[in-house]
Chain A
Amino acid sequence: MQIREENHGDTLVTIVEGHLDSATAGEFETHLLGRIEEGRRAFVVDCADLDYINSAGLKAFLIAGKKLEPIGGRIVLCALATNVQMVFELTGFDNLFTIKASRAEALASFS
C-alpha cells in the first residue's frame, strides 16, 4: 500500500494505491489523522489505484470522517473501482461519504 499526496489549494488530494486491509489500514488511518491534526480540513481520496478494501480500511475512513465532522471538515472519495464501490454500498457507507466518479468532480465539489 502506497500513499501519495498532492496539494490543490486548501484541498489535500491523497492517492491510495494497493490494498487497504488489516495490515495496511492502520498506516492509512495514522496518516489521515496526522493531516487532520496539522489542520487540514478538505480531503479528496483518489482511489483509482485502490484494488481492495475490507472492514479495516472502512474503519480508517470512518474514524477520519468522525473526526472531521465536528470541525466542519469533509472527505470526498473518487474513482472507486467496482469492487471497492460494492463494499461501500454493502455497508451503506456510500451514504456516509460523498463519492464522485473523477478527481476533477471531487475537487469541484469543494468550491
Chain B
Amino acid sequence: MRASLAFRLILLVGAPAVTLFLLVVILSSIRSREHVMAETEVSSLNLARYHAQRLETVLDRASVVAEMIATEMEISPKRNEEILNRYLGGVVASKDFIYGSCIAFEPFTFDPGKELVAPYFYWKDGRPEFVQLGNPEYNYPRWDWYRLPKQADRPLWSEPYFDEGGGETIMITYSVPFRKDGAFGGIATIDIAMSELTSEVEEIRVGKRGYAFVISQQGRFLAFPEKSQIMKRSLQEFDMALAQRMTAGQEGFVHARGPLRMESVWTAFAPIRAGNLSLAIVYPADEIMAGAFRLQRELLLLGGVGLLALCGAIIVIVRSISRPISQLAQAAQRVAGGDLDLEISHQTRTAEVRHLTDAFRKMTSDLKRRIEELRSATAARERIEGELQAARKIQMSILPRDIPVEAERREIRMHAHIQPAREVGGDFYDAHAVDEDSLAFWIGDVSGKGVPAALYMAVTTTLVKSHTAGHRSPAAVLSTVNRELCANRTTGMFVTLFYGLLNCRTGALVYCNAGHYAPFVVSRDGARRRLAGRGGMALGANVNARYNNHEVPLQPGEMVFCFTDGVTEALDARRAFYDEARLEEVLGKCAALDPAEVTRCVLDDLRAFTGSVEQADDITVLALRYCGTKANAAGNSPEADSERTAEIAPG
C-alpha cells in the first residue's frame, strides 16, 4: 500500500499542494485581519480627531476672548473702575458662549491707592452679573489662576473644577497675563462651562458598546459615560500607560483596559490642545476583533473547503491516471506467471500508459509466437533425430550383418563390423555371390561423415551391387561405377573402394583397389603381407580414371583383412595414431582365430588404444578366411573340419 503509485503520487503531489494552499490561506487570513485592524485604526483615529477638533474649536473661541481682553489692557488701559467695568460687562454680554470673565490687576497697578482690583462678570439667570473679586476675603493674588500664569508669564489653562456657585457644572479657566509699563500688569481670565461640550462627547456611540471620554491635563475624567465618575476618578487608575500618553498630548490607537467596564479595548485618542485636554474613543476589543476575526474565519473556512476540494480532486485525478497503470501491472504479473492468453482491454487517455499497454500486448503475443516456434522447432528436431535413428537402422540394414544368404559358402568364413562415428556414416561393405564359384566382396569409405556421406554411400554401394553381376572384372565394375558417380556430380565427394572377386574353388582372388588401404593377408601362422597393387584413382574424382586388376592366389587358411581409415587414424589421448603397424601386430596375434573373433580382437585393441577419446571417423573391419574346398583342404588346421559346417558367423 505504501509503495503503490496512487499513494505515492497523492503524497508527493498532495503534500506540497496542501502545504502551499494552507500557507496561502493562513497568510491571507492574517493579512486580512491586519488590514481590518488598520482600517479600524485609521477610521477610529479620524473620529477621535474630529471630535477633539470640535471641542478645540469651542475652547479656542473662548480663549481668544481672554487674549483680546489682555491685549486691550495693554494697549488701552482704562482710566477708572467705572469705565473698566463697563468695558468688561460689554464683552461678557456680547459673548454668550463664555460663562464669565475677570480682569485681575496686579496690586496697586490699576490705582496706586487701591491694592485689589478684580471686576468679574458672569452669566446668571440670562444676564451678566457683576462681582468684585478684589476684596480681602477672596484675596485673588494667592489663587492659582492668578499666581501660575504670572509666574509662567504666559497664558495657562486651569485644571477643570466644579463651580463654587453650587452647580454641578464643570468649569475651566483660561488665564492670560498682560503687562503694564514693561512689568506684569495682571491677568485676564475667561471661564468656560464645559457641560455642553461634555454632553456632546457623552453622546458619542461607536459600534455596539463603544464610547468616548475626555480627560483633563491631570487625567481626571471630564466627560464619561458613567457620570458618577466625572471629576472623581482619573484614567491613571485604569490604564497608566494610556493616561501618560494622553496627558502628554499624543495621538494614537492602542490596546488598553477600558475604564468603563474594565475590559480589553482598543482606544483611539487625540489631544485637545486648547485646555490641555485629551479625547479618547473606546472600542471593546472583541467588537473590533469580531469583524476582523469573522473575516479571517470566513477565509479559513473557505480555505478549508477549498482544501478538501483540492484533496478530492488530487485523489480522483491520481486514481484515474494510476488505475490503468496498476491494472497493467496486475496483468503483467499474471502474464509473467504464465497466463499468455490474457487480454488487456482497458482504455486510457494517458499516452504513455497507452504505449505501455500496446508494447506489452505486442511483447506478449511475440512471446506466445516464439514459444510456439520453439515448440515446433523442438518437435521438428525430435522428428529429425527420430528419422536419423530410423536412417541408421535402414543403413545398417543395407549392410549385411551376416553374410548374405546367397553368398553362404562352405569355403569361406567372413565377418564384418561397422561402427559409424555419428548416427549414420560413410563406410560400407558387402558381399555377393556372382555365380556358383565366385564371391564378390568390397569395402568402401566415402569422404566425409554424416548424412551426406551416408547418402553417397547408399548410392555407391547400390551401384556396385548392381554392376557386380554384369562384369567379371573388378576393374570393369569400378570403371562403370566411377563414370556413373562422376556424371552430374560437382561435389568434392569421392569414395575409396576395394573390390575383390574370390574364386571359391581355386582360391584365386582378383581385385581392384580404387584408392583404398591395401588389405592384409594373414596366414594361420601369423605371417602377414599386403595385397599390393593400385587399381586406380578413388571413385567419383575423375570421370576419365582408368582401372586395372590384380590377381593373387589364396592358400587355404589365409585370411583377407580389410579396414577403413577409421581404424588406422584413430587417435588416443596423446594424439598418436593407432597406425598400421599396431594393426598388423594385433592381426599377427589373432591370426589363427575365427574371423568373428579377429574383428572383435582388433576392435577391442582399438578401444583400448583410444580410451575415452571420442570417435572421429567411421570404423569398419572385414575379415574373410578362405578355407579351401575338400579337395585342397590339405594343410588346413584341424579346425578346418569343424568349419566345414556351413556356420555363418553372426556379424
A and B together in one complex: yes
User: Does A22 count as interface, using CB distance less than 8 angstroms?
Assistant: yes
Contact with A along B505-542 (1 / 0, CB 8 A): 00000000011110000000000000000101110011
The stretch from A4-12, A37-45, A89-97, A100-108 touching chain B is A89-97
Complex interface: chain B residues within 8 A of A92 (CB): 514-515, 534, 536-538, 541, 545
> Which of B490, B534, B537 is in CB contact (< 8 Å) with A66?
B490
Shortest beta-carbon distance, A68 to chain B, in Å?
Answer: 12
User: Does B594 count as interface, using CB distance less than 8 angstroms?
Assistant: no
Complex interface: chain A residues within 8 A of B545 (CB): 92, 95
User: Does B565 count as interface, using CB distance less than 8 angstroms?
Assistant: yes
> Which of B448, B490, B534, B537 is in CB contact (< 8 Å) with A55?
B448
Complex interface: chain A residues within 8 A of B491 (CB): 63
Complex interface: chain B residues within 8 A of A95 (CB): 537, 542, 545
What is the total number of residues of chain B having a CB less than 8 Å from a CB of chain A? 25
Knowing A55-B447, A59-B447, A59-B448, say if A89 contacts B534 (CB, 8 Å).
yes
User: Does A75 count as interface, using CB distance less than 8 angstroms?
Assistant: no
> Which of B448, B490, B496, B514 is in CB contact (< 8 Å) with A56?
B448
Kindly identify, within residues 521 to 574 of chain B, every residue whose CB is under 8 Å from any CB belonging to chain A: 534, 536-538, 541-542, 545, 565, 569
Knowing A90-B516, A92-B514, A96-B542, say if A59 contacts B565 (CB, 8 Å).
no
B538–A91 touching, CB < 8 Å: yes
A58–B516 touching, CB < 8 Å: no
> Which of A54, A63, A89, A96 is in CB contact (< 8 Å) with B565?
A54
Shortest beta-carbon distance, A23 to chain B, in Å?
Answer: 9
Question: Chain B interface secondary structure, helix, strand, loop or mixed?
Answer: loop
A90 CA / B494 CA spacing, docked (Å): 13
> Which of A22, A29, A56, A93 is in CB contact (< 8 Å) with B538?
A93
User: Does B396 count as interface, using CB distance less than 8 angstroms?
Assistant: no
> Which of B492, B496, B514, B536 is in CB contact (< 8 Å) with A62?
B492
Residue of A nearest to B421 (CB): A22
Shortest beta-carbon distance, B610 to chain A, in Å?
Answer: 16
A40 CA / B541 CA spacing, docked (Å): 22
B537–A96 touching, CB < 8 Å: yes
Knowing A29-B492, A96-B542, say if A91 contacts B448 (CB, 8 Å).
no
Question: Among the interface residues A56, A62, A64, which one has the most CB atoms of the partner chain B within 10 A?
Answer: A62
User: Does B616 count as interface, using CB distance less than 8 angstroms?
Assistant: yes
B492–A59 touching, CB < 8 Å: yes
Question: Among the interface residues A64, A66, A91, which one has the most CB atoms of the partner chain B within 10 A?
Answer: A91
A62–B541 touching, CB < 8 Å: yes
B492–A22 touching, CB < 8 Å: no
A55 CA / B456 CA spacing, docked (Å): 14
B449–A22 touching, CB < 8 Å: yes
User: Does A60 count as interface, using CB distance less than 8 angstroms?
Assistant: yes
Residue of A nearest to B536 (CB): A92
Kindly identify, within residues 110 to 160 of chain B, every residue whose CB is under 8 Å from any CB belonging to chain A: none
Q: Which chain A residues have a beta carbon within 8 Å of chain B's beta carbons?
A: 21-22, 29, 54-56, 58-64, 66, 89-93, 95-96
Since A91-B494, A92-B536, A93-B541 are in contact, a sample of 13 more A-B pairs with Cβ atoms closer than 8 Å, ordered by chain A residue number, is A21-B616, A55-B494, A58-B447, A58-B494, A59-B448, A63-B492, A90-B517, A91-B496, A92-B514, A92-B515, A92-B541, A95-B542, A96-B541
A-B contact pairs, 25 of them (CB 8 A): A21-B616, A22-B449, A55-B445, A55-B448, A55-B494, A55-B496, A55-B565, A56-B448, A59-B447, A59-B448, A60-B492, A62-B447, A62-B492, A64-B492, A66-B490, A66-B492, A90-B517, A91-B496, A91-B515, A91-B537, A91-B538, A92-B514, A92-B515, A92-B536, A96-B541
